[in-house]
Structure 1
Amino acid sequence: MKLLRVGPVGQERPAVLDESGTLLDISGVVADIDAAFLAGGGIELVRSAIVAGDLPVVEPGVRVGPPIARPGKIVCIGLNYSDHAAETGAETPAEPVVFMKAANTVIGPDDQVLVPRASEKTDWEVELAVVIGRTARYLPGHAEALACVAGYAISNDVSEREFQLERGGQWDKGKSCETFNPFGPWLVTADEIPDPQALGLRLWVNGVLRQDGTTKNQIFGVAEVIRYLSQFMVLEPGDVINTGTPAGVALGLPDPKPYLKAGDVVEVEIDGLGRQRQEVGKA
């Protein structure tokens, strides 16, 4: 099932894309797609409503917002593809590299990305996002970890490399600028993605294919990432995990590196999870 939220910024309402490709309004069934929805059996309520029928059709041309109203937290895994670690000159990590991204970075999949003021090194990163559907703490194994997944989506983990790597401290300040997490278009429920380690990821900038990878090359797979994180923090319904990016980011390309600038267009897709398109502007 493909869940999404549609409407103007701050006024999104929940919707579902049915098997025929028709977009249906489910705001009469659930209030929103958020932590309460995931924790309270919202997915099954929507399944029942689809079977019952009579859901109103959403008008064409409506804006698509992020598929989760607001994540509780965004936990990110760095250097999680061997080819990406190699292109940045980093050693393959022995344990997952963990950092956080501000929850208010989340925007819709086709909303404008803003290059921060004083930025010269704004970069792109296509990533598989995992949405948590039940509380996870001290999980013993991979089966228990995957049982906590509500579904999957696309994240573009936009990053400012100078802020991240050259300004001291932790990575977070290069990751948490406004608009730095285009998310969606859909939350695809876990039953539709039987193997999260078999998904192709691609990203284009101005029509040029920059990233073309597969989740099978993750150093730490989805199940291990969730299990690992649960040893250090409690994961809750509505939390998002960005699981890393394959090679092809601007940071890893030869000089002069083609960092993003106003007027650029970024397109992102992951097998089975849809497609994004962002025009780049200035903050």
Structure 2
Amino acid sequence: MKLLRFGEPGAEKPGLLDKGGKIRDLSSVVPDIAGPALSPAGLDKLRKVDPASLPEVPASTRLGPCVGQVGNFIAIGLNYVDHAEETGLAIPTEPVVFSKATSCLSGPNDAIVLPEGSVKTDWEVEIAFVMGQAAYRVEEKDALGYVAGFCLCHDVSERAFQIERGGQWIKGKSAPTFGPLGPWLVTPDEVADVQNLRLWCDVNGKRMQDGTTAKMIFSIAYLVSYLSRFMRLLPGDVVTTGTPAGVGLGMKPNVFLKAGDVVELGIEQLGEQRQEVKAFG
């Protein structure tokens, strides 16, 4: 299934994408794509629904973040060798873990708004996974069974806030609109091999990133197990898993986003996003 949320910001409704590419309204079935709806039983309930029996939603309707009521938005840094190398940092021997504020979540085609004082806002195409069950101290071999689905995430990053202001990376990762998620949450049965998906990012029509999840240092199964050693992951938690080479910080000279730029990104089988960059205010 391809699950989604549609409508005005803060008032999104649950939906799904049918086989014909039409958005269908799930409001009569579940209150949101969140919590219990993401559990194995919740997903089985949704699979039994005939999409043709659901109201069709106009194609022009705004899409919101594909998951609601997110408790934790966790991110993994430097998870591709080529990206670690382009930033000049050591290849990690354990996952680099940080957080993004959940208030940065936005729809896949919403504008990116540069925060006040931003001079180094950067792009990062990433694959994210969403938890469907609580997970604490799970084994890697069992880990993917706790995952409700996968989605495209744009880990927008303000590098000056992240690197030059001291403290934790979260400061450069959490401005409003810095977490476009979706267009949809794709359940694992529709993804043949999550560790062999192509992902890419274009800025103003120029290909900047072109990678594959096959080159992740730490696989998604490993990350579920690893994170569960330190915290209890809960249904609806989102974990975005790092980006391949090609970010603006890695270019010489550096290239960063400015008002008027257009960012387009995608992951095969998981969909595409498009964002216009706007100035603060």
SS of residue in 2 equivalent to 1:75? strand
Which has the larger displacement, 76-85 or 6-15?
6-15
1:202 aligns with 2:200: yes
- What displacement does 1:98 show? 0.4
Residue of structure 1 in register with 2:131 after alignment: 132
Residue of structure 1 in register with 2:112 after alignment: 113
Pick from 154, 157, 170: which aligns with 2:155? 157
- What displacement does 1:128 show? 0.2
Residue of structure 2 in register with 1:247 after alignment: 245
Residue of structure 1 in register with 2:260 after alignment: 263
1:78 aligns with 2:51: no
- What displacement does 1:62 show? 0.6
Report if aligned partners of 2:22, 2:59 keep a CA contact under 8 Å in 1. Answer: no
- Mapped to 2, the partners of 1:40 and 1:132 lie a distance apart of 11
Letter in 2 for 1:185: P
Residue of structure 2 in register with 1:234 after alignment: 232
How high is the TM-score relative to the length of structure 1?
A: 0.96
Which has the larger displacement, 234-243 or 31-40?
31-40
Report if aligned partners of 1:70, 1:104 keep a CA contact under 8 Å in 2. Answer: no
- What displacement does 1:40 show? 7.4
Residue of structure 2 in register with 1:282 after alignment: 279
Letter in 1 for 2:3: L
- Mapped to 1, the partners of 2:238 and 2:209 lie a distance apart of 22
- What displacement does 1:24 show? 1.2
Letter in 2 for 1:223: A
CA RMSD of aligned residues (A): 1.1
Report if aligned partners of 1:107, 1:183 keep a CA contact under 8 Å in 2. Answer: yes
Report if aligned partners of 1:65, 1:109 keep a CA contact under 8 Å in 2. Answer: yes
Residue of structure 2 in register with 1:272 after alignment: 269
Residue of structure 2 in register with 1:29 after alignment: 29
Residue of structure 1 in register with 2:60 after alignment: 61
How high is the TM-score relative to the length of structure 2?
A: 0.97
Gaps of at least 5 residues in structure 2 are none
Residue of structure 2 in register with 1:168 after alignment: 166
Equivalent pairs counted in the alignment come to 280
- Mapped to 2, the partners of 1:40 and 1:50 lie a distance apart of 18
Letter in 2 for 1:79: L
Residue of structure 1 in register with 2:42 after alignment: 42
- Mapped to 2, the partners of 1:25 and 1:178 lie a distance apart of 27
Q: In percent, how many aligned pairs have the same letter?
A: 52
Residue of structure 2 in register with 1:91 after alignment: 90
Letter in 1 for 2:77: G
Residue of structure 2 in register with 1:180 after alignment: 178
Letter in 1 for 2:269: G
- Mapped to 1, the partners of 2:186 and 2:259 lie a distance apart of 31
Query: CA 1:15/1:242 → structure 2, altered by over 3 Å: closer, same or farther?
Result: same
- Mapped to 2, the partners of 1:70 and 1:157 lie a distance apart of 19
Letter in 2 for 1:38: L
- Mapped to 1, the partners of 2:4 and 2:177 lie a distance apart of 18
- Runs of 4 or more, structure 1, over 2 Å off, are 39-42
Letter in 1 for 2:103: N
- What displacement does 1:36 show? 3.0
Alignment deviations for residues 25-76 of structure 1 (CA, whole Å, 9 cap, x no partner): 111111111123214732222211127x421111231111111113111111
Report if aligned partners of 1:38, 1:150 keep a CA contact under 8 Å in 2. Answer: yes
Letter in 1 for 2:33: I
- Mapped to 2, the partners of 1:199 and 1:138 lie a distance apart of 27
Gaps of at least 5 residues in structure 1 are none
- What displacement does 1:11 show? 1.7
